[in-house]
Amino acid sequence: MMNPFLQVAVGGAIGSVARFGLYRAIPVQGFPLATLLVNVLGSLVMGLLAALLAQRGGDWAPLLLTGILGGFTTFSAFSLDSLTLWERGQGTAMALYVAASVLLSLGAVFAGLTAGRGLFA
């Protein structure tokens, strides 16, 4: 079996190229359709692979989940983490995780843009 770090590196390259290809194939027309498709498709595949690897062993998890899907979209990892909390009966933790992820990420992007525009203008 390939070293897990090498699996993530190889998979990340594959996933990133796949995401870039999808973005190039779907032109932006006022709505980020390509991003929406990447997030939904990545989440669907994450669920399928997580179920498969749970049944058959997770030797390929670094390549498939962290690497390829992580390069394709990290939203799939967010989705799986959220659903896992829900399935464990941790609905409050899930709601907090979802709200914190969205709000803190939006705040961080805003802070980064504001700082970057000030620093690099």
How many domains would you assign to the chain? 1
Q: Is residue 88, in this structure, part of any structural domain at all?
A: no
Q: Is residue 109, in this structure, part of any structural domain at all?
A: no
Q: Is residue 94, in this structure, part of any structural domain at all?
A: no
The count of C-alpha atoms lying within 13 angstroms of the C-alpha of 70, restricted to the half-sphere facing its C-beta, is: 14
The pLDDT confidence band at residue 60, using thresholds 50, 70 and 90, is very high
The pTM of this model reads 0.80
Return the DSSP state at 66. I
Q: Is residue 8, in this structure, part of any structural domain at all?
A: yes
Q: Is the pLDDT of residue 92 over 80?
A: yes
Domain that holds residue 23: 4-72
Tokens, residue 74? 């990290």
User: CB-based burial of residue 121 (10 Å sphere; 0-12 exposed, 13-18 middle, 19+ buried)?
Assistant: exposed
Q: Is residue 33, in this structure, part of any structural domain at all?
A: yes
Is 70 labelled a binding residue? yes
Q: Is residue 97, in this structure, part of any structural domain at all?
A: no
Is 118 labelled a binding residue? no
> Taking the CB of residue 96, how many other CB atoms lie within 10 A of it?
12
How confident is the model over 49-73, as a mean pLDDT?
Answer: 92
How confident is the model over 69-96, as a mean pLDDT?
Answer: 93
Q: Is residue 21, in this structure, part of any structural domain at all?
A: yes
